[in-house]
A and B are shown apart, each in its own frame.
Chain A
Amino acid sequence: DAGVIQSPRHEVTEMGQEVTLRCKPISGHNSLFWYRQTMMRGLELLIYFNNNVPIDDSGMPEDRFSAKMPNASFSTLKIQPSEPRDSAVYFCASRPGQGRSGEQFFGPGTRLTVL
């Protein structure tokens, strides 16, 4: 298995532009998580899906952020309009739905820089 795939790996954009981050979870995994990592705030959970349905989006910082999971193999995190304070590394993680293991498998992340 290729693991969780994220694209792009790096994104540099200007303030006010729309940014779309993409994630392909591991096949067969039922849960998908979006995280943001910064030096100041550490690893923050933004939103998570179970069976493609958003379960908890309380971590989404504001209305400029939105996330979708149209099918079991694809999710997007969109920021519109982007601001410099959105600069961070964004991780996607997936988790199998069966068994007691709570292990989440993280992707390599997208490093976002908003100028």
Chain B
Amino acid sequence: QQQVKQSPQSLIVQKGGISIINCAYENTAFDYFPWYQQFPGKGPALLIAIRPDVSEKKEGRFTISFNKSAKQFSLHIMDSQPGDSATYFCAASISGNTGKLIFGQGTTLQVKP
């Protein structure tokens, strides 16, 4: 019940296209859902996060869509750029605890010029 399942494992998108990565969870106590971006040779860094009181959050070209009833959330990257090529991790946690994040398996995104 602590798992976060992420798909696809890898994704290839043309420049200007839309990249979509999906995650699903089981634990209804989760109330914080971040996405992390990791470039080769670097540590993951927070990209965008959402809490279940809203169904969508947008920051620039990045949007999280959240479906509480389906226990799913997704990351949409609009107008994908070669500089977006990286590994993306979804995660989930329960507020009020020490901040332990349960990470998905990661999606490697390649944006072709």
Contacts and interface: CB of A to CB of B under 8 A. Distances in A.
A43 B89 contact: yes
B1 to A, nearest CB: 15
A31 B89 CA distance: 20
B105 interface: yes
B43 A102 contact: no
B12 interface: no
A56 B43 CA distance: 22
A108 B89 contact: no
B99 interface: yes
B101 interface: yes
Interface residues of A, number: 21
B49 A103 contact: yes
Nearest to B44: A106
A42 B88 CA distance: 11
A56 B45 CA distance: 23
Contacts of A103: 34, 46, 49
A40 B20 CA distance: 23
Interface string B96-113: 001111011110000000
Given A43-B44, A55-B100, A95-B98, 10 more contacts: A31-B99, A42-B89, A42-B103, A43-B103, A43-B106, A56-B100, A91-B43, A100-B95, A103-B46, A107-B43
Interface of A: 4, 31, 33, 42-43, 45, 48, 50, 55-56, 91, 93, 95, 100, 102-104, 106-109
21 contacts: A33-B99, A33-B100, A42-B89, A42-B103, A43-B44, A48-B98, A48-B99, A55-B98, A55-B100, A93-B43, A95-B98, A95-B99, A100-B32, A100-B95, A102-B32, A102-B49, A102-B93, A103-B46, A104-B46, A106-B43, A108-B41
